[in-house]
Amino acid sequence: MRLLESTALQIKQKILSKQIRVVELVGQAFARIKAVDPTIQSFISLNEESALKQAREIDEKIDHNEKVGLLAGIPVAVKDNLCTRGLSTTCASQILKNFVPPYDAYVVKRLKEEDAIIIGKTNLDEFAMGSSTENSSFQITRNPWNVACVPGGSSGGSAAAVAANLTPMSLGSDTGGSVRQPAALCGIVGLKPTYGRVSRYGLIAFGSSLDQVGTMTKDVSDASLLLQVIAGKDSKDSTSVQTPVPDYLQGIDNNIQGLRIGIPKEYLTEGMHADVHKALKDALRIYEKLGAKIIDVTLPHTEYAVAVYYIVANAEASSNLSRYDGVRYGIRSTNAKGVIDMYCRTRAEGFGNEVKRRIMLGNYALSSGYYDAYYLKASRVRNLIKKDFDAAFEKVDCIIGPTSPVPAFKIGERANNPLEMYLSDIYTIPANLAGIPGISIPCGFSKDGLPIGLQILTKHFEEKQLLHVAYSFERETDYHLKRAVI
């Protein structure tokens, strides 16, 4: 297996045993990016110069047998809605195309502290609003398994970069499935931790009560490693939680004898693609073989999840995006007369259609006279959805279903039908509403050779069990070892 097709843990082992030098690894990564990314278009910007400088520094540390971090020398790509000090952070939006943050996001700071090498910033749907990465105002990212297809979204750039072997790991963000769905569509592992497990400081907000930074890796062990680095309480994020961070890799290979797996009947919907359904059934058979019990559960309010999500997320987004006004940073319209006109033109020129649509929907849901009927009601239904999960987790240890109802679809196929696009996230949204952790792991391929993802959900702060359940499947299968040919 070629170096860049390896997992981070494999590469790390080679670095620490001095089989390869970090400079060489990083050089290879940039060479491959230059060869492949003009086709895939996963990166918005590259950080080559400082990445190589940092690589030399880590090599020196290793040469001198100095202590190095958990991610020593590992290239990591970062979604372009996570602030990186001195490195442009655009959210794939025209309105922030010239924005260079004066500070690092908490997760970026953690990567640096553990000697990871940030190689560049990856493409996304503008402000993470979308499920295909087609809403980027800069470029359309392609699925490495079939470049006519979307990589999913909104963390499509981060998913494609890992799937195309441009980087072993990347960070994404997940508000309604934006890590798990592209992971599924690109055949990699995507983990969304519990809301509050990872600090949101420096993650450019979309839906504040839903957003969570997530990991995108080639396998479950790498997901455990990356989560280990970014999890924990951050005093700069009031919603991050003090709960201790366990050692995620320790005991990951224990058996799952007696594990109770819940299958919600509400997830077996008509919209599910036949190949996805088959992959799910095969996966359950593997779990049974491993000694798990499959139990039917019900999440009765699932049918309202998408509606609730698009009210809550858009309401919060409409407020979060009001700061992009041309006053302090970002672009400012040059042909405005007066401050109101400046606001209007800056935002009209700076935001794309999907962002504008969501701002309008969000403002509507919050406006006086509609607040009770929309936002307040949605918040109440959201509580019912949480309670559904609480009740289900009384009976089972985890819930399993498909990540996405369909494998990767063609670029342009759903671009003009927002409602159909919104249904891409039907299985992933409930975890964000409930705040619970979820992971998508490769569980097969469609007849057309496109990857299919299996979603596993557990209780709040049960990432360790989540990774354990995922790992036990991965160990029995080889889907995660398949690499896209590009």
Partner 1 sequence: MKYEVVIGLETHSELATATKLFCGCSTKFGADPNTQVCPVCLAMPGVLPVMNKKAFEYAMKSAAALCCKIDNYTNFDRKSYYYPDLPKNYQISQNYHNLGVDGFMDIEVKGTVKRIRIHNVHLEEEAGKLIHPEETGADYSLVDFNRAGVPLLEIVSYPDMRTVDEVESYMQTLRKMLLYTEISDCKMQEGSLRFEASISLRLKGVETLGNRVEIKNLNSMKFVIKAIEYEATRQAELLDRGETIDRETRLWDEINEKSVRMRSKEEAQDYRYFPEPDLLPVLIDEKWLSTIKSSIPELPFARKQRFVSEFKLSDYDANLLIEDKVLADFFEECVRGLNRPKILCNWITNDLLREAKERKLEIGQLKVKPAQLVSLVEIVEKGTISSTTAKEVFIEMIQTGKDPQKIVEEKGLIQISDEGLIGSVIDKIISGNPGVIDDYKKGKKNALTFLVGQVMKETKGKANPKMVNELLKGKLDV
- Please say which residue, 329 or 445, places its beta carbon nearer to partner 1: 329
- Work out whether 333 is an interface residue with partner 1 (CB under 8 A): no
Which residues sit opposite 27 in a β-bridge? none
The secondary element (H helix, E strand) that includes residue 180 is: helix 180-186
Question: For residue 286, which amino acid is it?
Answer: I
Select from 287, 375, 389, 409 the one that contacts partner 1 (CB under 8 A).
Answer: 375
Instruction: Give the DSSP per-residue string, 66-99.
Output: ----TTTT-EEEEETTB-BTTB---TT-GGGTT-
Shortest distance in whole angstroms from residue 108 CB to partner 1 = 10
Contact between 160 and 484 (Cβ < 8 Å): no
Question: Could you say which DSSP state residue 292 is in?
Answer: P
Contact between 114 and 69 (Cβ < 8 Å): yes
The secondary element (H helix, E strand) that includes residue 120 is: strand 117-122
Alpha-carbon distances, residue 287 vs 24, 37, 292 (angstroms): 41, 37, 6
Shortest distance in whole angstroms from residue 85 CB to partner 1 = 10
Shortest distance in whole angstroms from residue 310 CB to partner 1 = 15
Distance CA(436)–CA(306), nearest Å, equals 16
Residues 81-140 that bind partner 1 (CB under 8 A): 81-83, 89, 91, 96, 99, 101-103, 105
Select from 5, 296, 341, 371 the one that contacts partner 1 (CB under 8 A).
Answer: 371
Per CB under 8 A, the segment of 23-31, 111-119, 199-207, 291-299 that binds partner 1 is 199-207
- Please say which residue, 48 or 237, places its beta carbon nearer to partner 1: 237
Contact between 311 and 375 (Cβ < 8 Å): yes
- Please say which residue, 209 or 465, places its beta carbon nearer to partner 1: 209
Shortest distance in whole angstroms from residue 199 CB to partner 1 = 8
Q: At what angle do helices 156-163 and 22-40 cross, to 10 degrees?
A: 120
Residues 236-265 that bind partner 1 (CB under 8 A): 236-239
Angle at 323 between CA 319 and CA 325, to 5 degrees: 125
Catalytic residue list: 79, 154, 178
Distance CA(95)–CA(89), nearest Å, equals 11
Select from 208, 298, 333, 383 the one that contacts partner 1 (CB under 8 A).
Answer: 208
Per CB under 8 A, the segment of 55-63, 202-210, 221-229, 384-392 that binds partner 1 is 202-210
Per CB under 8 A, the segment of 148-156, 197-205, 281-289, 393-401 that binds partner 1 is 197-205
Size of the site for partner 1 (CB under 8 A): 44
Select from 16, 327, 348, 360 the one that contacts partner 1 (CB under 8 A).
Answer: 327
Instruction: State the number of CA atoms in the 13 A half-sphere of 8 facing the CB.
Output: 30
Residues 297-326 that bind partner 1 (CB under 8 A): 315-316, 318-319, 322-325
Binding-site ranges for partner 1 (CB under 8 A): 81-83, 89, 91, 96, 99, 101-103, 105, 200-205, 208-209, 235-239, 315-316, 318-319, 322-325, 327-329, 339-340, 343, 363, 366-368, 371, 375
